[in-house]
Amino acid sequence: MEIKIVADSSCDLTDEMKKEMNIEIVPLTLQLGDKIYIDDESLDIKEYLREMKNCEVSPKTACPSPEQFMKSYEGKESTFVVTLSSAISGTYNSAVLAKDMFLEEVTNKFIHIFDSRSAASGETLISLKIHELSKLNIGEMEIVKRVNNYIKEMKTFFLLESLDNLAKAGRLNPIIAKLASVLSIKPIMGATEEGTIKLVEKVRGYKRAFNKLVDIIGEEGKNLEEKILGIAHCNCIERALQFKEEVMKKYKFKDIIIVEMKGLSSSYANEGGLVIAF
């Protein structure tokens, strides 16, 4: 089946993934003070992180417009769209509105939009699943059914150096962020079934939190040998590689992939942050 995958710029990918999949990224817009950035290939992540660190206000993000999504829907291919969780971003609604507008003019086009209920490596895994299923001799609605089941079963967790940006942006209760800072607690956060953010564990010190995140995989995961673990990192490849190494000592995943966060994910994770999904 000839397909196109469309994802927003929270979908972190390696260069190899981009080459293998027919995927188009619709970028979000980022703002640091008076500066505006487009979260595409032109964004220098290291420079953006430096600017974010020196900025007195938290970063702001804006979802792509329906017009941006409509442009990505062009072409004859069956189109599958993956967006940020609708519980934390308006990107899903923008993509749906674009679909409705597009199909008013082009009626013989298949477009389906998946609410990832996740972000970062979660979106990456969903996109990979769509690509994998497209190689099988199954129809479009069967792909939709299987991917929806995959999303329901998928787990997403993250460990961040700081929760300040999440709190300032309204994605997290600021009381939790403040307590974590005062008490030197490294919270392990996770995605709920609805795609909101929840507190999973409160651990003192990064090393203990790092080890606990490894343990959570075994506590929450099932049939890991049939699954892929996605690890997204914010400018901390050594930390991501160490996490992969510790995971491999305890579990037998079908595969483990490491991707570097782009601008959107980095805006909330901050340097040193990890987001895992499986």
162-219 confidence digits (pLDDT tens) = 766 666 666 666 777 676 666 667 889 999 999 999 989 989 888 999 999 999 999 9
Question: What is the pLDDT, as a whole number, of residue 116?
Answer: 98
The sign of the dihedral angle between the CA atoms of 84, 85, 87, 90 is positive
Fold of the CATH domain 156-277 = Hypothetical Protein Tm841; Chain: A;domain 3 (3.30.1180)
Look at 278 and 268; give whichever has higher pLDDT: 278
Number of helices (H) and strands (E) in the chain: give both, helices first: 11, 13
Give me the mean pLDDT over the 91-118 stretch: 97
Question: What is the pLDDT, as a whole number, of residue 187?
Answer: 81
CATH code for the domain defined by 3-153: 3.40.50.10170
43-74 pLDDT per residue, tens:
999 999 999 988 888 899 999 999 999 999 99
Residue-range domain boundaries for the chain:
3-153, 156-277
Question: What is the pLDDT, as a whole number, of residue 183?
Answer: 63
For residue 223, count other CB atoms closer than 10 A to its CB.
8
Look at 179 and 124; give whichever has higher pLDDT: 124
| Whether the Cβ atoms of residue 242 and residue 159 lie closer than 8 Å to each other | no
Strand ranges inside the chain, DSSP E: 3-8, 23-26, 29-32, 35-38, 60-62, 78-83, 111-115, 156-159, 185-191, 197-204, 228-233, 255-260, 274-277
